[in-house]
Each structure stands twice: as structure tokens, then as C-alpha cells.
Structure 1
């Protein structure tokens, strides 16, 4: 009690009463000059991990004093190994569950990775390796092509710059030119042409009369026809129009029927 040895353990046995069956009762004796109440607690503890268990009295001085033959309440203080064991027990349970789950998982993996599947995986890995080699060769070819085409790219860019410069000059020229005046003049010209065509359509002026006067067309047609007949007569009977007779021979008169049939006058 309070670190001082005041007695010793005499006996340890099971309790006889049925309601407390399985529990232990510890009988101990101690010096008669130590006083404490019946509400004191007797605790089992281990001073160090290598020694046996001891009894420690946690004294209480309230109430009736304890005498020989009384029963005190007992407790067990957790030792280092006991506390470690209590903490390791749930961890051990979890570890066992994890190991069982891992074993089941490995069995399933072994079932999946049979000989046929392993060979298929090996072929896939080999095919992936060949694909990577082809990709490297392709990238090398692309780099070579880009290096050989870099000069052409530069020339193309220079030509593009020249084209854009020329386009800029053209746009500047168009912007500085008086497009508005040009459009107004063109509009005035078109207006004049429309007025002229409108006048011709209405029969104004010589051209309008020529285009729209049916009588003039008829007269011109008749004149053309008569002129055609005159030329045909001159071809068939030239002597009628040109006569060089010394004796003054009289010219033959015009014969419309013979002219129509392309015959000479006899």
C-alpha cells in the first residue's frame, strides 16, 4: 500500500457461488496495525515486465473499517504486454482478414494468368515494343523531311510577305483613288444612254423614226427591190442604157416580163 509491503498472498481459488462461477478470489493476510475501509480497492499489477503479479491496496477511509474475513473489490491493472496484446488483437484480426483476401485475390490472378493468357501478354508487350520502334523511325523521317523543307518554307514565307506587301500597295492605291467620282460619272453615262435608248424607242430623232416608222421601212424595201430589178436589167440589156450607134439606132424599151425571167430583149 502506497509502495510499502504490508502483507502477502496466501491463496488463489475459484468462487463457489453460482452467480460468480468462473471468477477468482484471492486470499491475503497483512499487518494488524493497517486500517482502511471496506470501500478500498485491491488491484492486481505487475511492477515490471519480467516479474510476477502483485497486489496493491488503493485505500479508502470513508465508511466502515475492514476487518479479517471481509471481501474487497478487485481490479486488474493492464501491464505493458497486456496493453500491447489488447492493441495487437484487433490488428491481428484485420491482418488475418487481409491475408485471406490477398490469398483469394492471388488465386483469382493465377486462374486468370494461365499459360495461354501469359503468352498473349508476352505477344502484346512484344508488339508494343515493335510499335514504339516504328514510331521512333517515323519521327526520325519527319524530322529529316522538316529539315530538308525548311529552306522552302522560308522562301514561301518571304514570297507571302511580298504578296501581302503588294496587296497593301494596291489597297492603298484604291483607297487614294477617287472611286466616288468614277462611279458618279459612270452613273451619268448610263443615264444618258438610257435617255437615248428611251428616245429611240419613242421615235424621237432620225434613228428613232427609222426604227419605229413602218412606212419608211416599206419605202426602203420597195426602193431596194426596184434597185435590184434595175441592176438585173442593166446586166441583161446593157445596150438599152449605153448606145453608141452612128446611125442613131433607137434603144429597146424595158420589158418587165423578160427582166423577171432573166431574158434579153430581142
Structure 2
């Protein structure tokens, strides 16, 4: 089926959006293709943000996912995810520390030296880096002091915005709003194009959906046939056969039966070897001295040569 330009454009746009989402999360240290376990810890103060990094020995291994205040305990519960390939003890300590000059905070896993591995959902013990507690307390106490200054700055900012709005020049806010309006119109046009694309390919989309439904039905039928195949009985019969063969091999190794004795009895092997060699010598002697075994005489004469038993049975 030949794809139209609209379909190709839609595929390109969707692929770009997916790649952008994957790239942003990858730069944050989150691999969307790998699984992750979620762990929890609690602090008296919250100095973290969602997407704060989680490290172990300086390496990024996870990310903060949830921050929730618990009124019953007056603590803040922090949930963070770590790649499920990383294993650490449930007795490890989660330390909050300052990770940069801009005041960002992060979590560090301080592993314990034991093999009691933490599981998904485990609540871990927490601690705060020395000196960070005083900094947090100071920040909270200075909120009320800085509130008045913040309000004054906000008022000044609003006055400046009013001046910009009244500015009729090209650098004013009106020009920016006009550009934003044009952008919204472009998105509206793109939305109409998508609607037109769907309407034109409605029959093809319906066919694809029917094919998917047919595939799921076939998979259900295959699963039903496998259930009726009595796979467990077949495996049980196979196990019994293997056990029987194993018993036969054990008897052979223990020298039981004719085959077992032939494999393990060295004396029997020696006798068979001697008998084979004697048979070979007998046939050779018969070929060289046939008169010794077949005596044909018109006058009834006798062969005077007598058989002499060799000293070695192999001769």
C-alpha cells in the first residue's frame, strides 16, 4: 500500500515526539526500556524535588518519583526508583546531601555490608548530611522575612508588565502575543490535517483493527489447543522413559546382566580375546596344512603328525 504525504508526515511527527520524550528522560538518567524498583524513606524536612537524582558511590542510579507529607507522623515520605539490576541491603542508609553549587539536593545510597537485599517497596532508614540541617532550618525561618521583599518585587514586575503591554512597538508584548496566536492557528491547521488524514484512511484503519482482532482470536485458539494437548502427561511419560533408560545404564555400570558382565568383567574379555586369537590361528593352520584335518587315503594310511598343544594359549 502506497503511503500518502499526510501519512508520512504524521509518522515523522509522532516518531519525533517519541524520540524527544525518550531523549529527555535519558538525559535525566531514566531509561524507559529498563525496569525499576521503588523504595521509600522519610525526612523531617523536604529539600528535594521530583526528578532529583539518586546516587551510589557517586554514580547516578535512580530518580526521586514522589514526595508526600504524612500528617500522622509529621514527616515527608520520599519515593525513589532505582534500576532493578542494582541490589543493595535493606539496612542501607539513604542520605540527603547537597549535590551542586546551585543548591540542588540529592539522595545517596550508603550500602550496608550484608546480604539482606531490599525488595520493591522497602522503607529505608534516612539521614541528612552534616551541616545541611542548619541550612534547611535557616531557609524555613527566613521565609517570613523575605516575603515582604518578594511581594514588593512582584508589584514592581507587574508595573513593568503593564508598561510592556502598553508598548505598541514591535518589541512589545503585543507582538509576542500575535506570534503566539499565529502559532496556535498553525497547530489548529495541523489538527485539521490530522482529522482529514483519519477520514481519508478510515477504511484502512478499520481493516488494521480487524486484522489485530483476528490475530488475537487466533492466539486464543492456539492457547486452547495447547491446553488440550495434555503436555503434562507427555512430560510424565518422557520422564518415566528416561528413568527406565537410566536404570539400564546403571545396571550396565554395575556389571549386571550379560552386557554388564561383558563391559565390566576383565576375565571374560581376556577369554574372548584368547578364543578369537585361537580361531584365527586355527584357520591359518587349516589353510597351510589341510592334510592334518582332512585325510584321504586309498590304502587306509594314517597321518603320523600329531597335534602339539602350545605352551601359551595365545599361540
Which structure is richer in relative contact order (CA contacts within 8 A, separation 6 or more)?
A: 2
**Of the two, which has the highest radius of gyration?**
1
The two structures have a TM-score, normalised by structure 2, of 0.32
Give the structure with the larger helix fraction: 1
More strand by share: 2
Alignment TM-score, normalising by the size of structure 1: 0.37
